[in-house]
Structure 1
């Protein structure tokens, strides 16, 4: 298998998505289009004073003919990579390697889809949903997103707008540490997977596909729930973890 390409990128924009998550927009310095499949990731080479380190992040933006791409990065206390990137100034240049990975959703995939994410596991799923919308996909795409607090729900307005414009999209945030003002779903994502899956199945549009991304514990729990407890075919359950 050939090695993924290495290229130079420049930080052209950044914004805060939540108290701990920052979105960084990079652009290829050579101006050529950055080709990737929705769901893939890139590695960034970070030139720290104590030595070069590499960190890998899923691509949050959808594939296009653009030279730019977006990453959503959680700042980890004491984490040298995330701290460096959260403090990175516009105009800074880095070496990128990619795209890489096999966690993707073919645009010609039939049947409805249930996307399950916690934290920045939402980023490759955002890429998949936006890519499908761009191609006119009309089958149901439901996104179940778990975080601790309401302030942690990033891309909330974007998904709400997508749901308003496209009847096949549904965004379901659930909070594991909700306060008394929260009127939406509560608890971990696995609590809500069976209900949403059965609703999707009841639409009569074929067996849904599940796309799961987040920390290992959540991914393993949801994958086992679908495969073992609910007897969903293995080729309909797709997952990637980032720890």
Structure 2
């Protein structure tokens, strides 16, 4: 017990020191005005030094994809830094391949703007827009998952591909002195360009999810940017294996709504994992999809069902359920949405069943 207390105390001290160092860097060091040149001078702006490159770009309405809110855990905010930016940090190397490092790729959330910089970003990111919308519905789906439905105000419409995500802004509130962005997959029908649905799970201590669950109200106006991402269905006839859990339902709900409209005959199996019955949702909606999509099957699984729940479906880890349903996946494709650990476990199982890695597409959060 003493050991755990000591470790906990040490972690708290380290966390406090890191926080104080961040504050010191921001408020005690004056980096002055820094100029950032994008794509060989195609766009140039001046900013006050001290913030991350990701933050500095977002302040200029240039929205770089980031699924982790700038914490350095998703690796999505890569861009090329040709000048300035300082040395590569240990927090960046786990997300960069050797050829990317050689090509001067960096994580923009980890790079601090302390001097003039020259960077390169994909032209497509200049078309990412900021949207304002009104919350029209907040519906609990489980004890810790909520549907957030919004009607767009400015611009009034959005075009996206099923599987895309947006970055929702949580404004300042009593427990959060700064606004932050967090990435959430779109759960709505791409043909309904006036509305946007998000499925959000409460993360204990999470800045944005605390705001969504404890402060956000129907009628409130919100801001988000997007669409982002390239997690989308391929244009083939291969059988699709969807695997998700929790709020990972979102992109597949959008895909299924699209599949109904396109009247696809492509085979699809959706494995959805949860701990127990209270973590499961949209079961009736999945039955409707099974009736509307010719070769679609939904396979829910509980890893730890309670006897009183009377669950008669699949049990065990979702990866084990997948293994029980397939012997050979060499001619199939997989689409995964979940935590890094869940996705890594799924990739291991699928490749073990013969699926080529290039046939596995995923969205980590």
Same fold (TM over 0.5): yes
| Aligned counterparts of 1:165 and 1:62: Cα–Cα separation in 2 | 15
Counterpart check, 1:232 vs 2:355: yes
- Please report the RMSD computed on the Cα atoms of aligned residues, expressed in angstroms: 1.7
1:158 paired residue among 281, 285, 289: 285
1:90 paired residue among 193, 218, 236: 218
- Could you report, residue by residue, the CA deviation over 1:183-204 in whole angstroms, capped at 9, with x for unpaired residues? 11111111011233348x6xxx
Q: Which residue of 1 aligns with 2:227?
A: 99
SS state of the match for residue 192, structure 1?
Answer: helix
Tell me if structure 1 keeps the 8 A contact 2:259–2:293: no
| Aligned counterparts of 1:226 and 1:22: Cα–Cα separation in 2 | 30
Which structure carries more relative contact order (alpha carbon 8 Å, separation 6+)?
Answer: 1
Q: Which residue of 2 aligns with 1:186?
A: 315
Larger Rg belongs to = 2
| Aligned counterparts of 1:165 and 1:98: Cα–Cα separation in 2 | 30
Unaligned ranges ≥5, structure 2:
1-121
4+ residue runs over 6 A deviation: none
Counterpart check, 1:131 vs 2:276: no
Tell me if structure 2 keeps the 8 A contact 1:223–1:239: no
- Could you report, residue by residue, the CA deviation over 1:114-166 in whole angstroms, capped at 9, with x for unpaired residues? 10001111211121122122101012211100011112111111001211333
1:31 CA drift (Å): 5.9
| Aligned counterparts of 2:181 and 2:253: Cα–Cα separation in 1 | 24
Q: Which residue of 2 aligns with 1:54?
A: 181
Once the two structures are superposed, the pairs formed by residues 10-89 of structure 1 within 5 Å of their partners are: 10-30=134-154, 32-49=156-173, 50-87=177-214, 88-89=216-217
Taking structure 1 as reference, are residues 127 and 65 closer, same or farther at Cα in structure 2, changes over 3 Å only? closer
Counterpart check, 1:196 vs 2:325: yes
SS state of the match for residue 172, structure 1?
Answer: strand
Give the TM-score normalised by the residue count of structure 1: 0.91
| Aligned counterparts of 1:61 and 1:154: Cα–Cα separation in 2 | 16
Give the TM-score normalised by the residue count of structure 2: 0.61
Unaligned ranges ≥5, structure 1:
none
